[in-house]
Amino acid sequence: MSHSPVSSVSSPAPLSFHPPAHASLKQITTLDKDGQEITTVGFNRFGFDSEVPLDVLRSLYLRSHYVLSTNNLDDVNDLDSGAAEIQHAKFLQGHAAYQSKSIYHPDTQSISYTTLSRFPPVKLLPPSQRKRILVTGGAGFVGSHLVDRLMLLGHEVTVLDNFFTGSKTTVSHWIGHPNFEMVRHDVVEPFMIECDQIYHLACPASPPHYQFNAVKTIKTSFMGTLNMLGLAKRTKARFLISSTSEVYGDPEVHPQTEEYWGHVNPIGPRACYDEGKRVAETLTYGFQRQDGVDVRVARIFNTYGPRMNPYDGRVVSNFIVQALKGEDMTVYGDGNQTRSFQYVHDLIDGLITLMNSDETRPVNIGNSDEFTIGEFAELVREIVEKVQDQDGDLRMRRVDIVYKEMPTDDPQKRRPDTTRAKESLGWQPRWTVRMGLEEMVRYYKAKMAEGSI
């Protein structure tokens, strides 16, 4: 496809939508760390506009995708009406026109799927601005949010995923769109395509998944990165790898800057992931020095948000699902180990900004607000109770917090020094942990209402 400028096509106006308001529901506003309302995510920076309205983005993951039915097909009760509407419309205030509505029959526990009748509106970009973007691991938690953003921005997106931990349902709302392609493929095998940018996110990232087949995890980190770097070299595409704070291991320096070399056990149960990502970074800079490949390295710290697998052993999803189900919340160790959590929209802002900047050094992308795991469990319990009270849900009892034995090589402290991201990208987290948790609690609550958790 030609990418030469087309003089007759003017620059597109920013996306703007005016959904019908739900007069009976008080809309929930989201405030950032400075108390300002968040209405859009993304930036217009480094010649790349990544700004989209928050309500449009939310309509892709915070709305129910089923309608409820009895045996009689004429008696179809939309999950978005009545009680379940309250789970969603407080945040969304409309956009129902762009949703698929599959019919769920609770009596037989069967579902009749439908395709989307209409896709969400995307920007109409002139060919000179429209990029062909490959996202490996694009059906995963982080990948699917990146795909949503890139699609709404009007780019051509190809998702590569083998669905080991990803799920087709996270990007199914784009299947059939002329700008979108979904390919089932394992990055351990070479892949040929023409593209301008590669976001290489493919690798299981939670301990139960990456320890399930440790050799395969190392192979994915090394061979997958080797194949994608080879593709970037051939197509002259810009390459971004999602590395991890795990490259710092159990750090002896606090907070961790990008200059810190890490403190990693190379033969422990987590080594397949930690050392896999470290060698992937080595490979990335090898291609930069040897072959002139244009590379970006994002070291991602703990991230949470909608579409996280509720059963993947991560602390945020564990706590929320346990609290919503009325089960006791499990803390491993004494609860004094610390973590810093960033919301997924902040991470996507950071990834897109890094990709389009000139920063080739590794960049920490994370939130420097630090919590002990014990404090975090109490915060989750408080927010779950707040949401249940807002929705008039009755609790049988207050859930307790129980302590269990600590897993091997679990880091005691982890907090990013994000000075580099702030100085060279102009990026810093906007979402408070409290606001992000409230949205995630509503996401899981809505998933429970539609029977998918």
Angle of CA points 291, 293, 296, to nearest 5°? 140
- Closest C-alpha among 245, 262, 247 to residue 366: 245
CA–CA dist 172, 167 (Å, integer): 9
Concatenated DSSP letters for 118-186?
SPPP-----TTT--EEEEETTTSHHHHHHHHHHHHTT-EEEEEE--SS--GGGTGGGTT-TTEEEEE--
CA–CA dist 238, 351 (Å, integer): 13
Element containing residue 357 per DSSP (H, E): none
55 neighbors 17 (Cβ within 8 angstroms): yes
| Beta carbons within 8 Å of 182's beta carbon, 6+ residues apart | 138, 139, 158, 159, 161, 168, 171, 174, 175
Which amino acid does the sequence have at 251?
P
CA–CA dist 272, 268 (Å, integer): 8
Q: Which of 61, 104, 273, 343 is catalytic?
A: 273
Tokens at 241, concatenated: 């790898």
SS3 401: strand
Examine the residue annotation and report whether 248 is marked as an active-site residue of this protein.
Answer: no
Q: Is the dihedral of CA 36, 316, 243, 151 positive or negative?
A: negative
Q: Strands (DSSP E) along 265-334, which ranges?
A: 295-300, 303-304, 329-332
SS3 374: helix
SS3 342: strand
Give the end-to-end CA distance of the chain in Å, rounded to a whole number: 43
Active site residues: 273
